[in-house]
Amino acid sequence: MELCILILPLSFAIKHTLFILCKKGFAKCQATAHLAWFTLPDLSCFSAIKVLQFVTPQQLMYDLNYIIWYEPKVTQKLKLIMFAVRTPLAWMIGLDSFLIKVRLAKDMIEDKQCTMKDMMGVIILLNQILGVVPIAKTIRNRLYRFVFAGEDGMMTEKESIRQDVWEAKIAERIFREYTYWPQACALLLSWCDDDFQMMCLNDEEDQEDQAPKHFQSPRHGKDDDGSEEFGRNRNCKCEVQ
């Protein structure tokens, strides 16, 4: 069962690798970003018990809330049906896999002589259990919806394409700026929401120091027309086009 499920992320990894080697331009950059940000993290803690993420209370309520309030009307009914079918299946498969792994690890845990094999088996099981809930993935999805989904929070096809282009552009820019590829790979693999925030937002004081004098405005002053100015920075806009 676990090996059958493993085929899916492995197929994505092989597909992205082939695109990186054979394609150029957008397809190559997008495959690079998806391999580093989605496929490799999934493979790093892969286990059949990872399907339990769909039945943890936090993830379950998040998915249901998203389908009810943010899923486009065209696909909402289909996603509700898939949600109703997926939840009990994930519970049964995940629980069965967890019990099997605990039984296999029981001998390693209770072994009077702690060997390297026993330690590695327990560490692998612990890594799989800790990887059940993908916190980083949930944070990234919420951040993407905030940035790309607009005011209504619903990701349309156009907005999804915009997100794909942005991801490919980030990968392309990293490898263009860092010609030493191990350094570029390390930066891409460690990319997170902190880097996104540092790229998009700057401290207002730094911006005002760097801006020309005729662009600077007081933090609580007035404009030329007498209207109040609450720390706006006119020469700095964070906008996804």
Confidence at residue 234, expressed as pLDDT on a 0 to 100 scale: 35
Phi, psi of 230 (to 5 degrees): -100, 65
- Please tell me the distance from the alpha carbon of residue 71 to that of residue 78, in angstroms, as a whole number: 10
Confidence at residue 84, expressed as pLDDT on a 0 to 100 scale: 95
Task: Identify the band that residue 22 occupies on the pLDDT scale cut at 50, 70 and 90.
Answer: very high
List pLDDT tens digits, range 161-214: 999 999 999 999 999 999 899 999 999 999 888 888 887 776 655 555 554 444
Q: Which residue has the higher pLDDT, 177 or 112?
A: 177
Confidence at residue 203, expressed as pLDDT on a 0 to 100 scale: 61
Cα angle, residue 17 at apex, residues 33 and 155 outer, rounded to 5°: 35
- Please tell me the distance from the alpha carbon of residue 7 to that of residue 22, in angstroms, as a whole number: 22
Distances in Å between the Cα of 226 and the Cα atoms of 66, 214, 221 are 44, 16, 9
What are the residues whose beta carbons fall under 8 Å from the beta carbon of 153, sequence distance 6 or more?
A: 69, 70, 145, 146
Average pLDDT of the segment spanning 203-230:
46
Dihedral, CA of residue 196, residue 202, residue 203 and residue 206, to nearest 10: 150
* Window from 12-21, 88-97, 187-196 with minimum mean pLDDT: 187-196
Count of positions (residues) in the chain: 241
Cα angle, residue 112 at apex, residues 111 and 118 outer, rounded to 5°: 40
Confidence at residue 194, expressed as pLDDT on a 0 to 100 scale: 84
Could you tell me the pTM of the whole model?
0.72
Confidence at residue 165, expressed as pLDDT on a 0 to 100 scale: 95
Task: Identify the band that residue 135 occupies on the pLDDT scale cut at 50, 70 and 90.
Answer: confident
Confidence at residue 156, expressed as pLDDT on a 0 to 100 scale: 84
Confidence at residue 44, expressed as pLDDT on a 0 to 100 scale: 86
- Please tell me the distance from the alpha carbon of residue 187 to that of residue 190, in angstroms, as a whole number: 5
